[in-house]
Amino acid sequence: MTNLPDDLSHQAIKGVNFAQSAVKLVARRVRDRIHESRLPADYFPQTTDEFVVSAYFAAGLDSIYQLEQWLWPFEQLESELKSLGLGDHPFGIIVRSPIVAKHLKTVTNLPVRFSRLIKGLDEFMTSSSLRAVFYVNQATSNFQSLRYPVPAHIHLSHGESEKVSMISNQLKAYDFVFTAGEAARVRIQRTLYGMSDDKMLDVGRPQLDRPRSIPKAWRSFASAEPDGQIVFYAPTWEGDSPSMAYGAIAHNGVNIVTNLLDAGYRVIFRPHPRTGAMRSEFAKALEALEDIVETEPRAFYDRTPDVSWQFDTADIAVAEMSSVAYDWLASTKPLVMIKPYNLDAEVLSGGLLDRCLTLPADDSLDIVELITEAESAWGLSTDLGQHYLGDTSPCAQISKFIDATKLVIERRNEARLQKSDL
DSSP for residue 37: H
DSSP 175: S
How many Å apart are CA 279 and CA 64, to the nearest integer?
20
Q: How far apart are CA 343 and CA 333, in angstroms?
A: 29
Three-class SS state of 176: strand
> Phi/psi zone of residue 262: left (φ > 0), alpha (ψ -120 to 50 degrees), beta?
alpha
Residue 203's φ and ψ, nearest 5 degrees, are -130, 5
Residues 284 and 334 in one domain: yes
- Judged by phi (left if over 0) then psi (alpha if -120 to 50, else beta), residue 2 lies in beta
| Residue 33 domain flag | no
Residue 31: inside a domain: no
CATH number, position 404:
3.40.50
CB-based contact 109:71 (threshold 8 Å):
no
- Which residues on adjacent β-strands are paired with residue 24? none
The pLDDT of residue 413: 96
Instruction: Measure Cα distances from 252 to 129, 287, 325, 341 in Å.
Output: 52, 14, 18, 9
pTM over 0.85: yes
Is 234 found in the same domain as 195? no
Q: What's the pLDDT score for residue 2?
A: 47
Answer yes or no: is 78 within a domain: yes
Question: Can you give the CATH number for the domain in which 237 is found?
Answer: 3.40.50.2000
| Parent domain of 50 | 42-204+396-421
pLDDT, one tens digit for every residue, the chain (422 residues): 445 554 555 455 456 555 666 666 676 777 777 888 889 999 999 999 999 999 999 999 999 999 999 999 999 999 999 999 999 999 999 999 999 999 999 999 999 999 999 999 999 999 999 999 999 999 999 999 999 999 999 999 888 999 998 999 999 999 999 999 999 999 999 999 999 889 999 999 999 999 999 999 999 999 999 999 999 999 999 998 999 999 999 999 999 999 999 999 999 999 999 999 999 999 999 999 999 999 999 999 999 988 999 999 999 999 999 999 999 999 999 999 999 999 999 999 999 999 999 999 777 789 999 999 998 887 655 688 999 999 999 999 999 999 999 999 999 999 999 887 76
**Are 183 and 267 members of one domain?**
no
Any domain includes 285: yes
Q: How far apart are CA 231 and CA 371, in angstroms?
A: 9
Number of domains, the chain: 2
Burial of 40 per CB tally in 10 Å (0-12, 13-18, 19+): exposed
In a domain, 191, yes or no: yes
